[in-house]
Amino acid sequence: MSREHELHAEREHLAGLYDRLDTERGRVHDEYAAALRGEDGEAPMDRDVRVRETAARKRRLDVADHGLCFGRLDDTDGGRSYVGRIGLRDRDTDEPVLIDWRAPAARPFYVATGAHPEGVHRRRQFHTRGRRLEGFTDEVLDGAGEPGSDAALLAAVNAPRGEGMRDIVATIQGEQDEIIRLDHGGVVVIEGGPGTGKTVVALHRVAYLLYTHRERIARHGVLVVGPNRAFVRHVETVLPSLGETDVVFMTPGDLVPGLHVTREDPAAAAVAKGSLSILAVLTAAIADRQRLPEEPLPIELTDATVHLGADVAGWARDEARASGLPHNEARAVFVDVVRWALTERAVSRIGRGTLTAADREPLRVDVADEVASHEELARVIDDLWPVLTPQQLLAGFYETTDDPTLHRADGGAWTVADVPLLDELVDLLGRDPEAEAAAATTRRREDQEQAEYAAGVMEVMTLDREELDEDLGVTVQDLIHADALADRFVERDTRELAERAAADRDWTYRHVVVDEAQELSAMDWRVLMRRCPSRSFTVVGDLAQRRAPAGARSWGAMLDPYVPGRWVYRALTVNYRTPAEIMAVAAEVLAGFAPEVVPPESVRASGVEPWARPIGDLAEQVAAFRTDEADREGTSVVIGPPGVPGTVPASETKGLEFDAVLVVDPDRVLAESPADLYVALTRATQRLGVLYRGVRPAYLSRADASTTASATSPATGARTVQGARSR
């Protein structure tokens, strides 16, 4: 069959798959509408479960329009199967007509090579635009024909970058697929240099885990932690594009609900706060707020005056601490002991030598009631054992501590390193039982008011059924009955899982992804381990790119205290983002501060040499760069030291990629953090320029120094580093 005939046949086949997709989508849309209406006698909770399940299926079908089918496998026995974004089955035979990329049957599409064909004769990769098949590339793997190339991969890595990260379901490589499908219930550490795809591999691993363990994972969701908000915005569309939405995206500064912190501490403070030794500091700060009176305090009752001194308060404090309860909950023990002791003293004084045993008990009850409601005593107790919030305690500690490393005038000017401390204090302080009881009462009252309002609305709407049918074009049966609508507001949470999880500090996730994990401190890891009791993690990072002073220096040091023997290490070695010409410059920087680290091998060369020139009129040079890039498709960025106008710090570009990058004053970036310069030089997918001060740095020896060099010169060609798929 000629290539034109094959192309026509494949177009017809893909059109048939899209017809099946549309049919299935229409059926699920009908199921979703029926679930919203509910069935007679169906419990509201059951209806909500059905609504959410069908909504999730609808979302997964809705994302399949782009790249529904991206490949075909022909096996050595003459069989043929198609691989795509989702799975589809024949409605009559229930046979698969399209294999989900995560299914075991799709694995050869990603791992088969000429050396290990996995029973595959031909791998065909489709090139589509919307629903139209533009062409295909064949790769013969069993020696029966000419081998193909990595055309699909090169097309993807050479394509201009957009505003967000794209999924790679059509171009997953062998070493990536192995990690995505890794069957390990503990912690998987994925380490790789710039451009190796470790982030997108981690996200596809989440999609794979949700596919294979949906019942176990989906009910509690997945948490993805990235280094900054720009990174989160860059990656947060990947999983929705794969039909997965039960995912919460956060930065380390977001891990306490209600806080969105970005400010960073000086290095010394960050190290102090990131170390586990800060736990003793927090415990001591709490103990310091559990005070004793300096002198006996008079408590005037109706018939006697008693004194609360260090003896009684000390005894009460010892009992409260011995209870093992958190501070706010142990306060009840402290209060009970103080009240009991003062009541006994008052009874003894009032009835000294005049009361019989029968009279003493009623007196004790009366005095106990007066002591319990005594306003001055309540104020004294609040001073000796106050109810504390994490924010109150930590802010007060920072403002009063004698430690110059931790002291600051505005204690509540939170930094990212404060977030794990605030989270720790939630457990150390505990809840305020009285405040929680009051809040629960308020919630019940508000729910009841909403339920009554909903019932009233539905009563009005059903007064004239015929008029309703005529004016609105719907029947009453299409509406939610009043009692069902009202029931939605009574002690039920109708928010989406991701919204509920993000707002609940005590929510636990079934899986957590940590990107740029080398930046997390020991205290950060305590927060994350609390969020995932099952200890199911995908950890992504590169120790060579660590810039945080309290960050990881080895994976074992961070993980062994929590998951000894339950973590595995996998490395990615191929750079799919950075052209060989740019990576050669970055490798010179890497060799200067981490000579033991082998840089990843670039899968391609762009044909465009990076350039380096002295800084002249910086504003004019930056403007020229931006003007040149504005005429090109894709993205660009200017990276420089913190505080330099018109530039972005390297720390804010971690995990991001751009078609063109201009690095300003690299020596200053290097002086602040060698890893930051390494990051800055490896953000570009096509073009790199460097503007330096003074003498040309030695690490720029490979960059073009000619005055005619341009950061925006077009590529003169590309070449493939063979074997990328099999690495």
User: What dihedral angle (degrees, nearest 10) is formed by the CA atoms of 6, 12, 16, 22?
Assistant: 120
The pLDDT of residue 438 is above 50: yes
Q: Is 273 annotated as a binding residue?
A: no
Mean pLDDT of the region 421-425 = 98
Q: Is 226 annotated as a binding residue?
A: no
Look up residue 475 and give its DSSP letter: -
Look up residue 307 and give its DSSP letter: E
pLDDT at 170: 79
Judged by average pLDDT, the poorest of 147-151, 174-178, 516-520, 711-715 is: 711-715
pLDDT in tens, 607-653: 999 999 999 999 999 999 999 999 999 999 999 999 999 999 999 99
Judged by average pLDDT, the poorest of 487-491, 548-552, 625-629 is: 487-491
The pLDDT of residue 354 is above 60: yes
> Which residues, in sequence order, are CB contacts of 395 under 8 Å at separation 6+?
411, 412
Look up residue 160 and give its DSSP letter: P
The pLDDT of residue 97 is above 50: yes
Instruction: Provide the token pair at 193.
Output: 């240099």
pLDDT at 398: 98
Cα angle 527, 549, 506 (rounded to 5 degrees) comes to 10
Calpha distance 156→657 (Å, rounded): 14
pLDDT at 359: 76
Query: In the chain, what percentage of residues exceed pLDDT 70?
Result: 85
pLDDT in tens, 70-89: 999 999 999 999 999 999 99
Distance of CA 443 to the CA centre of its chain: 29
Best-predicted range by mean pLDDT among 50-64, 164-178, 214-228, 308-322?
Answer: 308-322
Instruction: Provide the token pair at 142.
Output: 């069993």
pLDDT at 145: 44
Q: Is 196 annotated as a binding residue?
A: yes
SS3 322: helix
Calpha distance 653→516 (Å, rounded): 12
The pLDDT of residue 484 is above 50: no
Calpha distance 102→207 (Å, rounded): 8
Calpha distance 74→83 (Å, rounded): 11
Instruction: Provide the token pair at 606.
Output: 């762009």
DSSP string, 161-188: P-SSPPP-TTT--HHHHHHHT---SSEE
This prediction's pTM: 0.84
pLDDT at 431: 87
Calpha distance 207→219 (Å, rounded): 15
CB 120 within 8 A of CB 74: yes
pLDDT at 482: 43
The pLDDT of residue 666 is above 70: yes
The pLDDT of residue 478 is above 50: no
The pLDDT of residue 467 is above 70: no
pLDDT at 721: 34
pLDDT in tens, 105-136: 999 999 988 888 999 999 999 998 889 999 99
pLDDT at 353: 61
The pLDDT of residue 468 is above 90: no
Q: Is 192 annotated as a binding residue?
A: yes
Q: Is 195 annotated as a binding residue?
A: yes
Calpha distance 195→204 (Å, rounded): 16
pLDDT classification of 472: cutoffs 50, 70, 90: very low
The pLDDT of residue 722 is above 60: no
SS3 content of the chain, % helix, strand, coil (to 5): 50, 15, 35
Instruction: Classify residue 656 as left (phi > 0), alpha (psi -120 to 50) or beta.
Output: beta
pLDDT at 401: 98
pLDDT at 580: 95
Q: Using DSSP bridges, classify how beta strands 222-225 and 247-250 pair: parallel, antiparallel or unpaired.
A: parallel
Q: What is the mean pLDDT of the chain?
A: 87
Q: Is 197 annotated as a binding residue?
A: yes
The pLDDT of residue 491 is above 70: no
pLDDT at 480: 45
The pLDDT of residue 186 is above 50: yes
Calpha distance 400→19 (Å, rounded): 69
The pLDDT of residue 566 is above 60: yes
pLDDT at 394: 98
Query: In the chain, what percentage of residues exceed pLDDT 90?
Result: 67
Q: Which residue has the tokens 């501490």?
A: 265
The pLDDT of residue 713 is above 70: no
CB 543 within 8 A of CB 553: yes
Mean pLDDT of the region 159-184 = 82
Calpha distance 206→224 (Å, rounded): 9
pLDDT classification of 450: cutoffs 50, 70, 90: low
Mean pLDDT of the region 417-422 = 98
CA distances for 56 relative to 207, 221, 329, 402, 502, angstroms: 13, 13, 41, 54, 19
SS3 700: helix
